[in-house]
Chain A
């Protein structure tokens, strides 16, 4: 039986039967095998629904301009981020995207999206929009630029349309420590302090990644506070009939890049929802996810808003393990 592509390339985030918040960073661009296949040889994800994902975030950003922020002082860092993203895309998909020219004038071609643009590096007027917004429109990932100054990181710019219960417009301008203030407990706080020191110490050009995860209803990636009216009431009511189809594991593939020209940190968040039904097709995944949900520390469970959804998902996953083969397919 062939494994469907979304499962085969899924970055399943739970290597153990228990989970606690940790920095869990590893080198970026390194392929990692899973029980169902492998993921991670590229940093920018291009899945079967790539074009739809790009259109979807364009629509959100077009409707709500506050999904984009850029401090005036983030100009150089935004160009730095843009060049890094376009070069990365061209390197990972040479047949589909090219960045040409080595002087100030460069030509970008993204055949998959039908985008062609010529611009002058550092000249904002040569682009149809802000460099970071331009680059963000070429990739599926949400992009955030963190400036490195005064021995801390600061949220200087970003385009985010799939935040998980946070809002870019509120978080703009915050320090890394302020951004992570809602984390549960001193241990988690220390994890984020160490993570910030780690990021501050990276050398220009280095790229790392980590996985984050949660559960959500439906496969809509945009769980921002901004979009709360669309998803909040349903989450509160929790009227789930078929968890296999309605509850999704939300894995966030987060890349952390120390940008080469400015030393700012580019933070990329790729959201990969997978239905519990799909998770259950890989018995190792179903078992570990159920076990993690059953043993989650209360603070972590509350932080991830899993107090109700977690037990519900765990129970469903356990039931599938005892159900006749084929019952879990969706």
Chain B
């Protein structure tokens, strides 16, 4: 874990807090679209995207690759009053406060072979998209940005404009989104990739538009910032080490149920992507919903955050 100090806080727009974190000297480099897991309560981490260092000349100095040997980490976090508490804790941070975070994790990188990158951002999803845009601007890659914005609530809109110039298109009205996506994706040059960060509805709309324009799935990338609930049929998990039984309700994930029972389990993305919560399964068939385990690894392991026992099964975990 990195021991960091809050150097500055700002409110770029209503409901969003930007936080500048520093360490002792340069911090670990990170790829575009990377996040850190910020510890908001002991053992509880939330992933937040790293955005490029702002500067008077734009969001990043053009003379150094974004993400290389940063002096500071910049995060912008939307307040979720009904969330578990992570965003409320971040919004309460003040300069001088100490926080702990994982080193950068990469889950949403650009595809280097693309001839053109279409970046789609909705709401606070602008944060990794900003990092992608800064990266492409530095390396001279072809890109465009589609920003779905409700007036007044998108941070970094000015930063994006500074980076992307006339390569930025905006929809401020929900009804304008389909046409914006359609035009961009049907007209995208050969060998484009599209990257979306935003609410599930926007991600689904981009995927559907791309599919209609005959894009193959490997060209469509997304990072959801609202966790899809890992719900399903209730089941029981037996913890081998303690012999305890934990009942998992229909409306919660196995990880939620373990939290409720006070059982410590590692986790980070809570989307079945990062692999942090992968746990050994001693018995019971699993309905796998993650995207991290290979077929041979699924035999005997599960991602606690999204996967569940198969209907009618009990899973026994090495926990």
Contacts and interface: CB of A to CB of B under 8 A. Distances in A.
Interface of A: 71, 73-77, 79, 83, 102-104, 120-122, 147-150, 156, 190, 193-194, 197, 201, 203-205, 260-263
Interface in B64-91: 64-65, 67-69
B208 interface: no
Contacts of A194: 294, 296-297
Contacts of B30: 204, 260-261
Interface string B286-309: 000000111011000000000000
B305 to A, nearest CB: 15
12 contacts: A120-B63, A121-B64, A122-B139, A194-B296, A201-B275, A203-B104, A203-B105, A204-B30, A261-B67, A261-B68, A262-B31, A262-B109
Interface of B: 26, 28-31, 34, 63-65, 67-69, 103-106, 109, 111-113, 138-139, 218, 275, 292-294, 296-297
A169 to B, nearest CB: 19
Nearest to A261: B29
B2 to A, nearest CB: 11
A263 B103 contact: no
A50 B217 CA distance: 48
Q: Give me the 5 closest cross-chain CB pairs, A-B, nearest first.
A: A260-B29, A73-B112, A104-B63, A263-B106, A263-B31
Contact of A204 (B29, B292, B294): B29
A83 B28 CA distance: 13
Contacts of A120: 63
A103 B53 CA distance: 14
Contact of A197 (B69, B112, B297): B297
A103 B106 contact: no
Contacts of B294: 193-194, 197
Nearest to B104: A204
Interface centre among B31, B63, B297 (most CB of A within 10 A): B31
Contacts of A149: 109, 111-113
Contacts of B31: 204, 260-263
A204 B105 contact: yes
A119 to B, nearest CB: 13
Interface centre among B64, B293, B297 (most CB of A within 10 A): B64
A121 B68 contact: yes
A142 B29 CA distance: 24
Interface centre among A74, A79, A203 (most CB of B within 10 A): A203
A254 B49 CA distance: 32
A193 B296 CA distance: 9
Contacts of B105: 203-204
B70 to A, nearest CB: 11
A103 B63 contact: yes
Contacts of A262: 31, 109, 112
B139 A102 contact: no
B218 A150 contact: yes
Contacts of B111: 149-150
